[in-house]
Structure 1
């Protein structure tokens, strides 16, 4: 919107402008289960674009295309090509290139085909990402527990230094994250004192969602106010009748108020004449001039500018899901840690993830996107969405100290530690 279109009036609001194409409504049908899933026989189950994830593995062979061994089309187990449908996210199979087949035998997932209309900066799949269960060594787990104990004023560090690790149990934990940036519009009748100037009263006012509202920052809460074009008019102030003055509320228009020194009697408690009012019992009202004050509605102008105001409110709705169901780590521990981002996408309306190795992720993605779509279809409505999947490291460490068994968790990229049975706690002493 140009500077002229967004000029502010005296109330600090924008003059709105309208476009002739209404903003597209997000319909619930966009949030159903995608149908363009590549089937094992090479056929397609529809034409809807989806994000796809499966676990089948292909080593370099004739099915690969190009130096990087990225297939030109999705190769099916029977050698056929899965038609012309497009799947986004991870391809229908995991491919291993020659550089990854050495001594370390490390598997890596190649990036998906680019999303239509998006540049490389929007494709967050890392080609060399080692997408396997994150593991840590015994030394790393010991160091994590030692740093944890050193930060606790009443925890001794002896268990962390001298423990005997019996086992390390590694978990594969995913976190699905969905954000829907929504916009809510409210229309109100407003009036402000009229100070002169041009009044926009000619023309047909635009509909609520035909107004153009500039978003200050995507995925951040905010609000803004706009004057709806062609809704302005000037009228005489209904409170003062156009005089700009009103009867003083303090003195009732008399111009005088009772003396606070004598309460209006004119005499003091000892019978003498009141020195504050010289015995008159009243004094000049300090709130007005001859019983009149400036009108509180028009502030003395005698006229009011009436118009319709559109208030726009932006909010970010977030839904998170962690696949950990049975590790024993309290769920609230995941809120302040991060994992490795293995998938991310941002669109006006994102599509559900499908065929992910952990079925719960696919189901939650479909469910969350549909819930957001069903809830925010009209007003408020979704302006933009983004979602991501993180691979979160989680290790359960079983150890003994002084021949007694104990456990602790190391979790997150930050290598945070959680334990509810640290064996050496004391009061105000640190080893």
Structure 2
């Protein structure tokens, strides 16, 4: 990789942050905040270990997805279609679209609730406003400009770090609970562990990061690595840095959400939290107005980041599966199907947020659908990442293969536990 003068471009750790950072931040969406808040409120410090454990598996798997996009110059769905029959790809993508719409509905509802808590007014009006703003930005703002906004939105997540430093934190107890948790292995605890794993390692993130790597190739004057192997050292170094930092950022924020709710809500006896908005509101009498406002505004900020990721990942996946032109850098007239999927996903999510469907039920069914597709999809992705017909000489590294398959095994166990719990409760 060279600069305009033809000299090798020096690695810049700040400008190298891109798809990985955005993907990691989008993982801490309002739905994720609700799950992490449930963990902290319900079990105190004893759930901190979960986000530490998930980090290496999440980072390794996302780096595999990013590698596939950068090496092949195609998104995940397009590459999967080269190995498996189209009907399988369309089926998986269809389930992804359903899960993402349910997640969008829950996120929009949480954002509207948070806005109403902070500034008052009609929650549904705010929900509609957030939906229309995110839709307009994706359709009318070119990717190379829009991605800058997404990067800035990641700063909203530092609100959860700030909350932890506003209240009293017993740091020695935090360290002890993180490295030596007291596990009871109750059904409720097992279910919540599965929920944390499921919200941290999510299928929509796989599609999004791979596609954003593809989006970044042309504007940077680069090429798929199968066509330009000389670009590989710099490109793979950037992907490694970007992804591992981005996922560390994601899990750090999740850690502080669990921590802040543990030392405030759980300590005060508030153990039942259903939504991110409830967590914010419950903080007010315990931690004060400032902590409440930071927590609530963080919900809005991360929602503005997550909804485009949810809708965009579905649009990339479905467009690739059906052979449509896709890409946020394209004009609407050049990729009507792609932008149509984004519009349908966001507006359908908005409609569900107005419907009698409870946001908690939306999250429940989203988790079920993700549980159905996560493990087989992860298996397929690992097979693609090791296929020389697709990856050429840039197949996943031995470390990526080892940790990637371990992530598959962990998610398989998590999904099995989730469905067994559903069966018992049913």
Same fold (TM over 0.5): no
Give the structure with the larger strand fraction: 1
Please, what TM-score do these two structures have when normalized by structure 2? 0.20
Please, what TM-score do these two structures have when normalized by structure 1? 0.20
